């Protein structure tokens, strides 16, 4: 145990030094790529006042931005559309046409595109359509994903493959045309939805968690190439959020959020400097701490917190 503490403290010191000295650790406000329009431009193009009351009441920071969001048919994606639609232009991508049509009826400034993120050609077409209809993409939120609980004693390879195709390759398929467009403009903002399940393994997440860990690693690698080109990149790591997927979990989900609450956390986080946007803090702080626990303590702690009992 003494050796573990020494090594752990050494690692934390190294991380802290890198955190304080590396220009890649934080987005600096003075050089952060941004899609925020100036007050003068908003007034010139729309005639809208940019006084304090306008900024406060109409969420002026979203005005005229074009958001490209995948996975909008339900959950966090649908909540993001509802939160943004009064103030921004939104292109929403999902497979279910009926859900897209319902969102279009309920939300202004919403352009629906029925497409499957697992199809690279479909995503290229969706991005082209979005740009043609609503102009250059200012913010891309790559949110499409699936979650099927997996009993580790009954491995289903097809389920694991499906998670990789949707959760990981679905992001890659969207990134390819979006990055190409933003690189040409030397400006843009990309947010990739991962999960705290990508930090350490959680119950029933054997198929889901590894795809989310892969997305974090992907974003960290891409950051070094995209930040110098004026593209802001962030990773969204929610805790447990109410959705069609999590409704089937048979264990306790601490600090469970509604999709609307999650959307609010995300939009606030996207206006900030942090590379990782994690929430709720009451849960994610515990998960960050768990990274440094010995494995035996980690397994006991998670089992107790989730009420998950090992089956005999």
Q: Which residues are catalytic?
A: 208
Angle between helices 295-306 and 281-290 in degrees, nearest 10: 150
Longest pairwise C-alpha distance within the chain? 69
Range list of H helices, 27-86: 39-46, 52-58, 75-84
Tokens of 161: 């493959």
Tokens of 5: 């503490």
Range list of H helices, the chain: 2-21, 39-46, 52-58, 75-84, 97-106, 120-134, 157-163, 169-185, 208-226, 259-270, 281-290, 295-306
Sheet with 89-94: list strands edge to edge: 110-114, 89-94, 66-70, 139-142, 188-193, 231-238, 276-279
Q: Is 152 helix (H, G, I), strand (E, B) or coil?
A: coil
CA–CA separation, 116 and 173 (whole Å): 10
CA–CA separation, 202 and 212 (whole Å): 12
Q: Which of 182, 82, 94, 206 is nearest to 143 (CA)?
A: 94
Q: Which of 74, 129, 121, 79 is nearest to 96 (CA)?
A: 74
Bridge-based pairing state of the strands 188-193 and 139-142: parallel
């Amino acid at each position: 145990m003494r050796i573990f503490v020494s090594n752990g403290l050494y690692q934390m010191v190294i991380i802290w030094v890198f955190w304080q000295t590396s220009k890649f650790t934080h987005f600096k406000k003075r050089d952060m790529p941004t899609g925020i329009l100036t007050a003068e431009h908003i007034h010139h193009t729309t005639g809208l006042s940019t006084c304090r009351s306008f900024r406060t009441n109409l969420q002026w920071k979203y005005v005229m931005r074009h958001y490209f969001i995948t996975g909008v048919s339900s959950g966090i994606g649908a909540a993001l559309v509802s939160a943004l639609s009064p103030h921004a232009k939104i292109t929403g991508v999902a497979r279910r046409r009926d859900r897209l049509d319902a969102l279009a009826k309920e939300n202004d400034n919403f352009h629906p595109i029925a497409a499957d993120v697992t199809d690279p050609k479909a995503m290229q077409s969706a991005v082209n359509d979005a740009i043609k209809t609503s102009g250059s993409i200012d913010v891309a939120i790559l949110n499409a994903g699936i979650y099927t609980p997996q009993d580790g004693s009954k491995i289903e390879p097809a389920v694991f493959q499906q998670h990789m195709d949707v959760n990981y390759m679905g992001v890659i398929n969207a990134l390819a045309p979006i990055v190409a467009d933003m690189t040409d403009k030397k400006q843009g903002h990309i947010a990739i939805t991962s999960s705290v399940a990508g930090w350490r393994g959680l119950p029933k997440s054997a198929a889901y968690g590894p795809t989310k860990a892969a997305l974090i690693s992907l974003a960290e690698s891409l950051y070094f190439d995209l930040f110098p080109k004026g593209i802001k990149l962030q990773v969204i790591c929610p805790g447990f959020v109410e959705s069609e997927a999590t409704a089937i979990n048979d264990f306790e989900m601490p600090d469970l959020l509604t999709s609307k609450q999650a959307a609010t956390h995300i939009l606030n986080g996207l206006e900030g400097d942090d590379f990782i946007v994690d929430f709720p803090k009451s849960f994610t702080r515990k998960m960050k701490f768990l990274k440094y626990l010995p494995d035996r303590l980690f397994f006991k702690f998670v089992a107790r917190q989730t009420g998950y009992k090992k089956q005999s």
